[in-house]
Structure formats: C-alpha cells, structure tokens
Amino acid sequence: TMLHFARAAAASGVSVCIFSLEMSAGQLAGRMLVGSSGVDSGAFRTGNVDGSGWTKIEKAGATLSSMPVFLNDRANITMGAIRSQCKAMHRRGKCGMVIIDYLQLLDTSTRNPNTTREREIAAISRSAKLLAKEFDVPVILISQSGAIEQDADMVLFLDRPVMYGRTEIDAGRYGIIPAEGVGLMHITKNREGATGCICFRHNESLTRIADYDDPATDAIGDVGPF
C-alpha cells in the first residue's frame, strides 16, 4: 500500500521521498517494478517470466525511471537527518510527499536516561507533524503502534474480509458484493474531512490496488485486471 501511494503520487507529478528503514532501495524498486508491470509477483521472484512478461517489465522500468521517486535506505536514521534531507530536496522542488517506513525502526538515541520508549515515539510523532507543516507536504508515517493516533491528521485501517473467511461484504452504495479481490479502507479519523469506509479493488498476485468502480490502468497503458 505504501508503494501504491508513492507510485500514484509520482505518476501525477508529485515528487516522493521515501525513507525505508526496513527494506533496501533495491527491494523497494523491485516491488514497485512488479506492481507497475502487471507481472505476477511470485513468477518474478522465481524468474518464471515469459517473453511478454519481460517486455512489460522493461516498459514499466522505463516509466518508473522517469518518475520523481527518491529512495533512502540508510539504517538508524534520525528524524533530524530526515528533516535535513527533506529540506534540501524541498529547496530543489523535489519533496512533495514524504514516506517513512517505519516509525519503530527510527533511531531515537537520547542522552536522557529517564526517557521512555513511549516518550521517544511521541517525540517522533510530533516531529513528523512539524515536518508536514514546515514543508506543507503530506508525511506518511508507517507504524506498528497506536501511539501516534492523537497527533495524526488521518488514521486509516486497511481490511481484506476474505482473509478471515468472508465471502460477501456490505459495500454501502455498491450493495452486497463478493469479498474476493476487494478491500476496505476505513477512515476512522480525518481532521479535514469525513470519516467512513471506501471500497477498493485488490489483486494480490499483481501487488496492485485500484479504485473499485474504475478500471485499473497499469504503467504501460493496458487495462488491468479490474
């Protein structure tokens, strides 16, 4: 989902700065390439890709290489270092969105022996919010904790009902629909707008999500699976 956000923003001309503390830049690039090409991710990992698949990968690679996505996979990076790099990129007009993956891996070294992990996480959360305000850009902070909920402007939960045995779901204005290939985005907090639930299409083998009621279009212009 993080890479889908980045790819969609970059495709619309927004420069995206990704700070990945969990995966290397090569791994992230590979995942973006597969998601854009429409090639099955399992086949790509095993090298079981036919000629047409490699053609799609090459075309997707050419498209991705021209997109304004900047990857930083430095380990143990601090929020101060992230701010400095974002400031430099912003001066060059190349920082329209910031993604940090993920909060718990950020370096929170401090000289204060009385600082707790909870306070450290709270400080990172505040720093991320100040970063968004300073450069007037969205900052997507991936987290495995609910500790930053009070600082977040938006809180989103992704749900795939088919994963726990649901065969049908109530999709609001779409009525009762099959759960297979469908996900739900629950917007539980939104300072500047409404809360609620949004349906989206999901294809696990292609690592792709798309609007529920619009056909997906991949990087090379072919109509996707939805």
Which residues form the catalytic set?
Answer: 22
Residue 65, helix vs strand vs coil: helix
Q: Which residues contact 206 (CB under 8 A, 6 or more apart)?
A: 34, 35, 38, 39, 40, 41, 224, 225
Beta bridge partner(s), residue 198: 185
Parallel, antiparallel, or unpaired: how do β-strands 154-159 and 168-170 relate?
unpaired
Angstrom distance (rounded) from CA 168 to CA 85: 46
Angstrom distance (rounded) from CA 6 to CA 35: 12
The overall longest dimension of the chain from CA atoms, in Å, is 60
HEC-encoded secondary structure of 73-106: CCCCCCHHHHHHHHHHHHHCCCCCEEEEECHHHC
Sheet holding 208-211, edge to edge: 154-159, 182-190, 196-203, 208-211
Angstrom distance (rounded) from CA 119 to CA 192: 27
